[in-house]
Chains A and B, each alone.
Chain A
């Protein structure tokens, strides 16, 4: 079973920041938080991951609370092409460890 909880859906206005929350209250010390997204009829796309520090890359920012029980994925300027299902996944560090997908959040970016 997935170890994360996400809202089933969210709407965001185009050009605004999209903030997607994720609860992972049972996360272990050796588990990373990964975010992927899946656009309709495509394979999941890696976005970002982190352990305990906030992370930023060209796609998004990841804010992890100090107790690591929750995190937020931030898309700073959402576009229509960001409409997708976003998955928050916790995964034990180390090569070959599997990803377990939950239901994710359907993000709809609207003009």
Chain B
């Protein structure tokens, strides 16, 4: 089945550091990928839609200068949390779908747990 790989799985870093998270579709091409954030005991919240070759579309309340998204190829999207602070500590998850039928399911990576000290 479709596989989405996310790296790294866990990051611990100091406040003020910028952190890059990668999301790869391993066996299909994805012109669109999605980035979510999940705080403890809460559901997934969509942050942005990543579009290959164009700017990402951010959800209301998500700072685009804080969360930089680059989708440079059909199999890779990156999320960079710039100047991270403790309140950015969260579980970040990406998803992607292959092009095909109109009802293709999205497949998710295993997430990146970000801890800012």
Q: How far is the CA of A7 from the CA of B80 in the complex (A)?
A: 36
The answer to whether A51 and B103 have CB atoms under 8 Å apart is yes
Asked whether B46 is an interface residue with its Cβ less than 8 Å from the other chain, the reply is yes
Residues in A with CB closer than 8 Å to B113 are 41
Residues in B with CB closer than 8 Å to A94 are 102
Say how far A93's CB is from chain B's closest CB, in angstroms: 4
The answer to whether A46 and B111 have CB atoms under 8 Å apart is no
- Whether A44 touches B103, Cβ cut-off 8 Å, given contacts A96-B49, A99-B95, is no
Say how far B32's CB is from chain A's closest CB, in angstroms: 4
Q: How far is the CA of A27 from the CA of B111 in the complex (A)?
A: 30
Residues in B with CB closer than 8 Å to A103 are 43
- Whether A100 touches B49, Cβ cut-off 8 Å, given contacts A43-B6, A43-B108, A95-B97, is no
Closest 4 A/B residue pairs (Cβ): A43-B108, A96-B32, A101-B44, A93-B102
Give me 20 A-to-B residue pairs in the complex whose CB atoms sit less than 8 angstroms apart, sorted by A's number: A34-B105, A36-B108, A38-B44, A43-B4, A43-B95, A43-B108, A43-B111, A44-B44, A44-B95, A46-B106, A46-B108, A51-B103, A96-B97, A98-B34, A99-B46, A99-B106, A100-B46, A101-B36, A101-B45, A101-B46
